[in-house]
Amino acid sequence: MNVEPIANRQQADANAGPGEPAPPAIGANLPPWPQVDFAEYGEIEVKPVSRIQKLTGAFLSRNWLTIPHVTHHDDADITTLESYRKARNEANAAVKLTPLVFLIKAVVRALREFPQFNASLDGNGKNLVLKKYFHIGVAVDTRFGLLVPVLRDCDKKSVEDLAAELAAISLKAREKGLSMAEMSGGCFSISSLGGFGGTGFTPIVNAPEVAILGVTKTRLAAAPAEDGGVSWRKMLPLSLSYDHRVINGADAARFTAFIGTALADPQALAG
């Protein structure tokens, strides 16, 4: 990762005003990466890191080092959504709806309600650029590494449109990879590990976006029922990482709770 100090030096220089000395580059004074001869300790195999892993690794390192991250965790009750989704999938087997497409629609609503989440700091960090469009990036796990295609104008698309587009673009990402154009222009990203498992994680903000939503596996939770007994609810864990320079914790809590409320009315989201 020796590109990191150079990238940060350029950022530091760009942030300095005329005649002002550049602030020290973030990460410039870190100790060097340990050089270890692993073969001294046992059998090893050496595999080159892929081009995409190197590229995404450099971006992830920059984002992790330069953005003050906080992750807010919450659960959304998707019991009604899951019944609605099941019925809709049974009625139309041509397009499979997963919870993710409803989540994209709920995120679009939340971005409308909380415009500071649909924003980016400009190059010198002095202005916040508020976007009036709703392009959502979705992390896709591929043999090349992590790719994030951007689904454009998600506010104008139905859940079926989004499911069909996501299926096509994730297949392309997995088989051939994606162009930079297909991964550019996003407002907000979602990283769903729901199909794989987990109870929560810390996604890294995809700069210049200011927040990213991580999703893990739906679990059953007991809640008090009206008759005094127990009602089993389907709970979707949400992990929202945000850039604390732009978003404060109270807004992150409101934003995540808003997504939960939106998911509770799947019919309104379906479009």
Report in angstroms how near the CB of residue 15 gets to ligand CAO at its nearest: 28
Rg (CA), the chain: 21
Note if 244 is an active site residue: yes
99-113 and 159-175 are packed helices; what angle lies between their axes, rounded to 10 degrees? 110
| Closest CA relative to residue 119, chosen from 134, 108, 131, 127 | 131
Which residue number, 184 or 199, has a Cβ lying nearer to ligand CAO?
199
State the catalytic residue, choosing from 72, 73, 135, 244: 244
Supply the DSSP symbol for 152.
-
Report in angstroms how near the CB of residue 59 gets to ligand CAO at its nearest: 12
Question: Does residue 218 touch ligand CAO according to CB under 6 A?
Answer: yes
Q: Please give the residues from 48 up to 107 whose contact with ligand CAO meets the rule CB under 6 A.
A: 98-100
Q: Cα-Cα-Cα-Cα dihedral of 118, 124, 126, 128, to 10°?
A: -10
100 burial (CB, 10 Å; 0-12 / 13-18 / 19+) is middle
CA–CA separation, 264 and 128 (whole Å):
31
Report in angstroms how near the CB of residue 45 gets to ligand CAO at its nearest: 23
Report in angstroms how near the CB of residue 149 gets to ligand CAO at its nearest: 9
Q: Please give the residues from 232 up to 251 whose contact with ligand CAO meets the rule CB under 6 A.
A: 236
Q: Please give the residues from 115 up to 174 whose contact with ligand CAO meets the rule CB under 6 A.
A: 138-141, 146, 170
Binding site for ligand CAO (CB under 6 A): 98-100, 138-141, 146, 170, 191-195, 215, 217-218, 236
